[in-house]
Chain A
Amino acid sequence: MKVGFFVPCYIDAIHPKAAISTYELLKKLGLDVEFIERGACCALPELDMGFLKHACTLEKGIAPLVVDKGYDYVVVPSGICTDQFRSHFDGVEQTPEVVQFRKTVMDPVEFLHDVLKITELPGKPSFPHRVALHNGCHSLRYLLEARPSELMIKPFDKCADLLRLVDGLEVGYATRRDECCGFGGTYAIWDASCSGQQGRDKVSDYDRNGFKYVTSQDMSCMIHQQTVARKIGLDLKMFYITELLNGDAQP
């Protein structure tokens, strides 16, 4: 199985560990992984601000990097960027190849859980601690990787399923388990006061529940929460989910 590996700009620049852990985990699982060297920005920030023209230009640049390359799947270690490809990415002509790309682009959680259906992790990683799971809003409500608390459907949680494969790891949640943490991409800069308040409310919730560790399939939420927690002096450590799944997370 050939997998294209698309590393979004903010992961590369701010938290490359998320990409490294994901890449290594996919290799350990015996896959043929190809880093898409020319890939970078997924066009979400542009779309988010309403600059459709720019988003469209970027999408036109991305399309030739991901279609017709013989990839069975394209894995993107970021929920928001995966959602950008899956749910938006309509600034380019919707050829059968583009449609196929949008169907087979996945974040690592979907890929490991739904495609590979893994039941054990290579190298038997262990993390004998309670970890709060934050399902990022885009992964949760747009990619539907868990039951959003708003929807009255059968409960499921793909991240939690995967995290339970880590030896000793106990999955928990904040009291307001899937309330938005306030990152929202450009929103965090546009409305720093409310975004900051949401972030403080979220990290205080973990703290009240006695968590020391937090993980998410969306690193952008983690970067926001980590820097807010540090600003108010809370001792919390945030990981991208594959850092735990690949045994790279250090307590």
Chain B
Amino acid sequence: MRQVNQVKLGEEFIKSRAHREMHDRCLWAARMRRDAVAASIPEWEEMRELASEIKLHTLSNLDFYLEQFTANAEANGIHVHWARNADEHNAIILEIFKSHGVKVVTKGKSMTMDECGMREFMAKHGIEINEADLGERIQQLDNQRPSHIVMPAIHKLRSDVADLFARKLGSDRDIDDPHYLNSVMRADMRKRYCQVDAGMSGVNFGIAETGGIVVCTNEGNADISANLPPLYVATMGLEKLIPRQSDLPLFIRLLSRSALGLDMTQYTSHYHHPRQGQEMHLIILDNGRSERLSSPDYWPVLKCIRCGACMNTCPVFRRTSGISYDAIYMGPIGIVLEPSYDLYKYARLPYSCTHCGSCGDVCPVKVPIPELVFYWRSVVVDHNDELFTHNAEETLAEPILESAGNLAKAEKVGLWALRHIPKSIAESGLNPWAEAHDDPEPPEETFRQYYNRVIKPESDKDTPKEQS
């Protein structure tokens, strides 16, 4: 299988100046709005800490809360299903659709369903799924994955969208006015909404105490999917639970402020039971989550509430776009999540990080992303033999280290590590440093030389001679 090379894909995006500058500017603006609204709340840092603790508590007692949630949801008339993995997830939904004769579906944004490749799976079975989120629909029309978990088409220029709509929806290629483009999409989607058989959406929060789910969107894409058709299917990752209804406001306050710098999502919809005459199904998805939960180093990753703030702030993500990660989850959370799905394919991702630490500090639930990056890099090195063709560097370093009687020799090892990215994952032996950098001016003398020339003679003078 192919290994994803984020560096190379990112370089292509960097080279397209118009795209890079627009992308960086839009996301930095989101980060600035986030800073402004966060600063307006005196208890912001306490909220982050509390949200983190609630998540840790819930994850530590997940078996209890899952049972409580399911019992309550079923009592409310929601059909609850459990899916161990993507295949089970898709099979369950296909079964539901088949038994209801479903042909056309409208769907709100759901990372979890993307994770399962649900849309492609349904297409193979002749079921048409139309995304109701504008950005997600743009990406669907373009046959491309979302490039951001909250803003799926943020890497596209207006002119890219005008071009796409001209090809797919017959609009005027030369008009890239957002109002016009919106109206083109609206006209196309409205027709489709009238004939849907079922609706789907993801879930932001499941409330154990009530058995209800909460979906947050800015366009109402989940609402149209849940409220229009007679059949509604939602998918929830099993880490999405919170214990009580009264815990919810804290997360709602944090979510959209962190994501976009908005006080609240435009639509915060609570579904506690099917509406009259409607059938409602909820799939609870594991797909590797319980395995993550059992890892002592890695389990805090499950706190993530998928706000996207870490992407907006990441200096690498902003310049290379989510497309360059070629993955469902991208940016900081992506580089620590994706290797857990496929270590070989995503072995390079944990290296797409400067360790600036900004992601950990914006994260509303304090996912320790910087630590998890270190964790994954060490896992990648541990699996060097299986993942890569050779590990010459390791064997190269060993003798130097063993013979490092004088530790100063170890600086060679430090500089070695700086010069030698493991060849097995680097592209070429050339010195890539020279592309962006001038050579540093060589110093006249090192500190060690200065020490021997100036400091040492001085201090030898000062120390009284030992008595013989």
Which A residues lie at the B interface, using CB under 8 A?
7-17, 19-20, 23, 35, 37-52, 54, 57-58, 61-62, 65, 137-138, 140-142, 148-153, 176, 179-180, 182-201, 223-224, 226-228, 230-231
Chief secondary structure at chain B's binding surface: helix
In the bound complex, CA of A220 to CA of B241 (Å): 43
Whether A190 pairs with B414 at a CB distance below 8 angstroms is no
B417 sits at the interface (CB 8 A):
yes
Please pick, from B351, B376, B437, the residue contacting A191 in the complex, using a CB distance under 8 A: B351
In the bound complex, CA of A152 to CA of B43 (Å): 9
Please pick, from A23, A48, A190, A197, the residue contacting B14 in the complex, using a CB distance under 8 A: A197
Q: Shortest CB–CB separation between residue B323 and chain A, in angstroms?
A: 14
Nearest A-chain residue to B360, judged by Cβ: A141
Within 8 A of A (CB), among B339-369: 350-358, 360-362
| Set of chain A residues within 8 Å of B380, measured between Cβ atoms | 50
In the bound complex, CA of A40 to CA of B354 (Å): 23
In the bound complex, CA of A185 to CA of B414 (Å): 10
Whether A191 pairs with B316 at a CB distance below 8 angstroms is yes
Nearest A-chain residue to B418, judged by Cβ: A45
Known: A137-B357, A191-B351, A198-B319. A186 touches B437 (CB 8 A): no
Please pick, from B28, B41, B351, the residue contacting A176 in the complex, using a CB distance under 8 A: B28
Whether A196 pairs with B414 at a CB distance below 8 angstroms is no
Whether B414 pairs with A187 at a CB distance below 8 angstroms is no
Please pick, from B41, B45, B313, the residue contacting A153 in the complex, using a CB distance under 8 A: B45
| Set of chain B residues within 8 Å of A9, measured between Cβ atoms | 410-411, 414-415
Whether B413 pairs with A54 at a CB distance below 8 angstroms is yes
Known: A12-B411, A13-B415, A50-B377. A138 touches B10 (CB 8 A): no
Within 8 A of A (CB), among B407-433: 407-411, 413-415, 417-419, 421-422, 426, 431-433
In the bound complex, CA of A179 to CA of B25 (Å): 13
Please pick, from A35, A49, A191, the residue contacting B381 in the complex, using a CB distance under 8 A: A49
Whether B417 pairs with A51 at a CB distance below 8 angstroms is yes
Whether B440 pairs with A35 at a CB distance below 8 angstroms is no
In the bound complex, CA of A20 to CA of B448 (Å): 10
B92 sits at the interface (CB 8 A):
no
Please pick, from A7, A15, A189, the residue contacting B418 in the complex, using a CB distance under 8 A: A189
Tally inter-chain residue pairs, CB-CB below 8 A: 228
Whether A194 pairs with B356 at a CB distance below 8 angstroms is no
Please pick, from A10, A43, A149, A191, the residue contacting B352 in the complex, using a CB distance under 8 A: A191
In the bound complex, CA of A6 to CA of B112 (Å): 49
Whether A186 pairs with B421 at a CB distance below 8 angstroms is yes
Known: A58-B413, A194-B319. A151 touches B361 (CB 8 A): yes
Known: A15-B443, A16-B443, A193-B435. A187 touches B355 (CB 8 A): yes
Q: Shortest CB–CB separation between residue A177 and chain B, in angstroms?
A: 11
| Set of chain A residues within 8 Å of B39, measured between Cβ atoms | 152
In the bound complex, CA of A11 to CA of B450 (Å): 13
In the bound complex, CA of A11 to CA of B448 (Å): 10
| Set of chain A residues within 8 Å of B439, measured between Cβ atoms | 227
Whether B433 pairs with A41 at a CB distance below 8 angstroms is no
B315 sits at the interface (CB 8 A):
yes
In the bound complex, CA of A222 to CA of B14 (Å): 23
B267 sits at the interface (CB 8 A):
no
| Set of chain B residues within 8 Å of A227, measured between Cβ atoms | 437-440
In the bound complex, CA of A184 to CA of B421 (Å): 13
| Set of chain A residues within 8 Å of B228, measured between Cβ atoms | none
Known: A51-B394, A137-B357. A200 touches B407 (CB 8 A): no
| Set of chain A residues within 8 Å of B448, measured between Cβ atoms | 7, 12, 37
10 A/B residue pairs, CB under 8 Å, sorted by A: A13-B415, A37-B408, A39-B407, A40-B408, A50-B376, A141-B360, A151-B45, A193-B7, A228-B436, A231-B438
Whether B407 pairs with A65 at a CB distance below 8 angstroms is yes
Since A44-B414, A46-B413 are in contact, a sample of 15 more A-B pairs with Cβ atoms closer than 8 Å, ordered by chain A residue number, is: A7-B448, A10-B414, A13-B443, A49-B377, A50-B378, A141-B358, A141-B360, A150-B358, A151-B45, A179-B358, A184-B354, A191-B10, A191-B351, A192-B432, A231-B437
